[in-house]
Chain A
Amino acid sequence: MPYVGTRSTWLLLVPHKPKPTELDGNIELFCIKEGTVRRTYVWTALLLVLALVMAACGGTSGTTETTAAPNTTAAPGTTAASGTTAAPSGEMKTLKIGFTTSITGKYNTESTRQDNGLQLWMDDVNAAGGITLSDGTVLKFEAVSYDDESNKDRVQELYTKLATDDDADFLISPYSSGLTAASAVIAEQYGKVMITTGAASDSVYTQGYTGVYQVYTPSSRYLTSSVDLLGSLDPSAKKIAFVYENSNFSTGVAEAAKAYAESNGYEVVLYEGYDPDTQDFSAFINKIEASGPDAILGGGHFQDGSAFARQLYEKKIPVKFVSLLVAPPEPSFSELGDAAVGVAGPSQWEPLVKFTEDAAMAAGADWIGLTGDEFVAEYQAAYGEEPSYHAAGGYAAGLLLQYAIQKADSTDADAIKAALDATNLMTFFGDLKFDTSPDHHGLQIGHDMVVVQWQKADGGLQKQIVWPESGATAAPLYPLGQ
């Protein structure tokens, strides 16, 4: 019985090669002793644990190094080097900016980029000699940040710690609407000013908070710019089908866009949600075709959005315009090939967007910071990749804070709040302006989504900006040639 001998403990992992004599229907084959079975259980359990550990490692590996970001705040040498008028008599003060980053967990990628953008801003402002107030005080910035593990409970603990133990002067939100909602409560409770970025949900701003300010365009306006674009392209296109993912975010976007479209005289011929893990949209598409829309708006996240776009293309749906959430701005959307051509989508920011100081002046707004090109170049030099809108949002949050401090000429929370309330600012990220009504205090009302569209260029696919007209890099492809 070689089966249950001493070597059987490790044999589980090695294919058992029976001797030729065993092969021919040896009944011993079935006589597994109790001990073997028990050992098998132990091994199975061990393997299970091993697999779990591997799965856990998979989620976190390769990210931990970005945490340290040692190059940022600890650079006192740069102060002297940068030749700005060193404050003659004023005292030096270092302001603590508190925030959490999702170093681990599901928001890791986006959150790390947002953190990178914010750090880049801090490097820039410190290298330029900080902010000098009129009384000669020179303000520098220092980051205090922790890993929130993409976890709401951790966020609440850590922001409490940031507000009390660390006594951060200002707070920046974590990435994502959910985490931001959790952190905003704490910020408000401790009377700290918080700039939120990476969070589009509207609901945080209906809670009556007074010190929370949003950088992103809220989800209620995600698709309205697409409706505007359609209106400017073709006043005769009046039928819209809304097909959206059944998630909090996408449903909110679709509801708001539907109301906006209807109030602008559009007829909504189909309004239906799909399950978040839908992969096959063919039944849906048949239904869309039957409803005969001019335009399709909706989508949800990357996977469903790209599947939907591809199947629309293959089914040759005769529609003039398609605008989908989240998926089209992602570079990997081009993997769809021809199916991506003509598909548009809203984006918070794109490297190609051009907002300039001149444009700010023309619009009667203030301007602060660098241009989009400079941001892209700096970011690429620092992190070796093209910045996504998450990174731009991080930088913009810092800029906004810098602007408010300069404007208020003070670090006092109330003065800063007053300055933020009165903000009419343009940055490389776009316009920033806040709702100051008590019902929606802090809601972003200035920033608009740009609409990108994939177009054919030089034999390849290129993402172009087609809306707003002032920032467009190409004329919209319309109607889609299907």
Chain B
Amino acid sequence: MNLDVLIASAVDGLLIGFVYGVAAMGLTLIFGVMDVINLAHGPLIAIGMFGVYEIFTYVGMNPYLALIIVAVVGLAVGVLVYFVAVHRVIDAPPLSSLLSTFSVNMMIIGVGTAILTTSAYNVDFSLPSLDTGPITVTGTRLAAALIAVGVTALLYAFLYRTRSGKYIRAVANNRQAAELMGIPSTRILALAFGIGTMLAMTAGGLIATILPINILAGGTYELKSFVIVVLGGLGNPLGALVGGLILGLIEGLVPVFMKTTWVPVLEFGLFILILLVMPQGLFGRKES
């Protein structure tokens, strides 16, 4: 087991981990603000993938510029999904929102399969690889990681520096109290759902620049997101980023030592372990 392989694998894992982190942030933000587990998370990631693919392939736009369009569309899609499927059940028992977001999941997959089939697509785009002696870092992966860090910084700037961001935190903290202070909670919830969706679709777009995509591929990242969210603590975006890095590192390093088929076993083993030992996650908010 030489050191080069170890370092190369760790770097690859960490870079993709940032992207996992962004996807998981979308899930955790929505949960943190409105206690809704968004089962349409995977298909929304897939829409982001195909958004970048379609714009790049048919308009010829640089995929990173396409990402901006996808993010804006993501916000709109999220708000739409919120009003169609989430708003009515926001205070109903959790099963209702699970079912309604699952319906959205089925609808997107159904329509997507009809139009795109489940075949794989590739965004035919490459950046020059970065060659540093023993390690070759692919350009698209590095760019995706940098953008993911940028997105996280923007999210925090938004949540802590803007009025709407503060409203979101207030509503997350105590919706009734926030409403009593005159915060328009419905609009804020819709906005939060929109931002969560935007993060999911942005992550999808980033993944499309690195890996092949298909309409069902979002499901894989949805599962990873769940593990990450539990790892980082439900409702904690920064925890999600760290969780993403941990997951990426596992995916990078485990195959060096054993067969790759062990990766999911270890990932979900960790998932169960965290649930048993520290259910609030590594950075979870303290439940009263």
Name A residues whose Cβ lies closer than 8 Å to a Cβ of B: 11-13, 15-16, 18, 23-27, 29-30, 32, 36-37, 40-41, 44-45, 47-48, 50-52, 54-55, 57-59, 61, 246, 272-275, 277-280, 282-284, 286-287, 289-290, 302-303, 306-307, 310-311, 313-316, 332, 335-339
CB pair A246 B5 closer than 8 Å: no
Q: Does B183 lie within 8 Å of A25, measured CB to CB? A: yes
Chain A residue contacts of B88, Cβ below 8 A: 11-12, 16, 36, 40
- Contact residues in A for B180 (Cβ distance below 8 Å): 25
Contact of B261 among A59, A275, A306 (CB under 8 A): A275
A275-B264, A337-B126 in contact; A51/B110 too (CB < 8 A)? yes
Nearest Cβ on chain A to B163's Cβ, whole angstroms: 16
Complex CA–CA separation, A246 to B263 (angstroms): 14
Number of interface residues of B (CB under 8 A): 72
CB distance from A388 to the nearest CB of B (A): 14
Residues of A within 8 A of B131 (CB): 316
Known: A25-B179, A283-B255. A315 touches B136 (CB 8 A): yes
CA distance A453 to B12 in the complex (A): 29
Q: Does B9 lie at the interface of the complex (its beta carbon under 8 Å from any beta carbon of A)?
A: yes
**Chain A hits for B99, CB < 8 A:** 41, 44-45, 48
| Cβ-based interface call for B217 (8 A) | yes
Is B162 close to A, CB under 8 A? no
Complex Cα gap A32–B91 (Å): 8
Q: Is the CB of B5 within 8 A of A303?
A: no
Whether B107 contacts A51 by the Cβ 8 Å rule is yes
B151-179 contacts to A, CB under 8 A, are: 176, 178-179
Checking B96, B122, B136, B255 against A284 with a beta-carbon cut-off of 8 angstroms, the contacting residue is B255
0/1 per residue, B230-247, Cβ < 8 Å to A?
A: 000000000000000000
Of residues 45 through 92 on chain B, the ones whose CB sits less than 8 Å from some CB of chain A are 80, 83-85, 87-89, 91-92
Contact pick for A51, options B16, B106, B211, CB 8 Å: B106
CB contacts (< 8 Å) of A51 on chain B: these are: 103, 105-107, 109-110
Identify which of B22-30, B112-120, B198-206 touches chain A: B112-120
Evaluate contact between B110 and A282: CB separation under 8 angstroms: no
Q: List 5 A-B contacts (CB under 8 A).
A: A11-B88, A25-B179, A40-B88, A47-B100, A279-B211
Residue of chain A at shortest CB distance from B2: A290
How far does the Cβ of B257 sit from chain A's closest Cβ, in whole Å?
Answer: 10
Contact between chains at A278 and B120 (CB < 8 Å): no
B139, B176, B217, B253: the one contacting A279 at CB < 8 Å is: B217
Point out the residues of chain B lying under 8 angstroms from A314, CB to CB.
126, 129, 138-140
Any A CB within 8 A of the CB of B214: yes
Cβ-defined contact, A338 with B110, below 8 A: no
CA distance A433 to B183 in the complex (A): 79
Let me know if A279 and B96 touch, CB within 8 A.
no
Q: Which residues of B contact A280 (CB under 8 A)?
A: 16, 210-211, 251
Chain B residues in 8 Å Cβ range of A339:
126
**In contact, A61 and B129 (Cβ under 8 angstroms):** no
- Most chain A C-beta atoms within 10 Å of own C-beta, residue among B91, B105, B211, B212: B212
Which chain A residue has the least Cβ–Cβ distance from B93?
A: A37
Further pairs besides A44-B99, A58-B110, A336-B122: 9, Cβ < 8 Å:
A18-B186, A50-B103, A51-B106, A54-B110, A54-B111, A282-B12, A282-B13, A286-B9, A335-B121
Name A306's contact: one of B5, B179, B212 (CB within 8 Å).
B212
A-side contacts of B179, CB under 8 Å: 24-27, 29
Complex Cα–Cα for A290 and B259 (A): 15
In the complex, chain B residues whose CB is within 8 Å of the CB of A12:
84, 88
Q: Which residue of A lies closest to B83 (CB)?
A: A15
B121 to A, closest residue via Cβ? A335
- Distance A481 CA – B153 CA, assembled complex (angstroms): 40
Q: Is the CB of B12 within 8 A of A286?
A: yes
The verdict on B133 contacting chain A, using a C-beta distance below 8 Å, is: no
- Report whether A287 and B124 are in contact in the complex, using a CB–CB cutoff of 8 Å: no
Q: Are A283 and B252 in contact (CB under 8 A)?
A: yes
Partner of B182, one of A24, A282, A284: A24
Query: Can you list the 3 inter-chain pairs with the closest CB atoms, starting with the nearest?
Result: A25-B179, A58-B114, A51-B106
Whether A52 and B106, one on each chain, are in contact in the complex, defined by CB atoms closer than 8 angstroms, is yes
Q: Which residues of A contact B264 (CB under 8 A)?
A: 275
Q: Which residues of A contact B103 (CB under 8 A)?
A: 44, 47-48, 50-51
Chain B 241-274 near chain A by CB (<8 Å), digits 1 or 0: 0000000000111111001110110000000000
Task: Compute how far the CA of A288 lies from the CA of B178 in the bound complex, rounded to whole angstroms.
Answer: 56
A54 to B106, CA, bound (A): 9
CB neighbours of B113 from chain A (8 A): 55, 58-59
Q: Which residue of A lies closest to B216 (CB)?
A: A277
| B138 CB to nearest chain A CB (Å) | 4
Measured CB to CB, the nearest residue on chain B to A50 is B107
Contacts A40-B89, A314-B129, A315-B136; is A282 near B217 (CB within 8 Å)? no
Is B184 interfacial (CB 8 A cutoff)? Answer: yes
Contacts of A274 in B (CB 8 A): 260-261
Shortest Cβ distance from B111 into A: residue: A54
B132 within 8 A of A: no
Chain A neighbourhood of B280, CB < 8 A: none
Q: Find the B residue at minimum CB distance from A59.
A: B113
Are A284 and B260 in touch, CB under 8 angstroms? yes
Set of chain A residues within 8 Å of B182, measured between Cβ atoms: 24-25
B100: shortest Cβ distance to chain A, in Å? Answer: 5
Say yes or no: is B8 at the interface (Cβ < 8 Å to chain A). yes
- Check B111 against A58 for contact (C-beta < 8 Å): yes
The smallest beta-carbon distance between A138 and chain B, in angstroms, is 44
Report chain A residues within 8 Å CB of B83.
15-16
Measured in the bound complex, the distance between the Cα atoms of B3 and A274 in whole Å is: 23
User: Which residues of chain A have C-beta atoms less than 8 A from B186's C-beta?
Assistant: 18, 23, 29
**Which of B89, B122, B251, B252 sits near A335, CB closer than 8 Å?**
B122
Task: Say yes or no for B288: interface residue by CB 8 A criterion.
Answer: no
**Contact call B8/A40, Cβ cutoff below 8 A:** no
Give Cα A29–Cα B136 distance, bound, in whole angstroms. 56
A73 to B51, CA, bound (A): 46
Closest to A308 in B: B212
Distance in Å from the Cβ of A16 to the closest Cβ of chain B?
6
**Which of chain B's residues has its CB closest to A51's CB?**
B106
What residues of B have a CB within 8 angstroms of the CB of A286 in the complex?
5, 8-9, 12, 256
When distances are taken between beta carbons in the complex, the residues of chain B under 8 Å from A32 are: 91-92
- Residues of B with C-beta under 8 A to A282: 9, 12-13, 16, 138, 141, 252
Looking at the complex, which one of A16, A246, A279 makes contact with B87 (CB distance below 8 Å)? A16
Cα–Cα, bound, A25→B171 (Å):
11
- Nearest-neighbour CB distance to chain A for B211, whole angstroms, equals 5
State the CA gap A402–B288 with chains docked (Å): 80
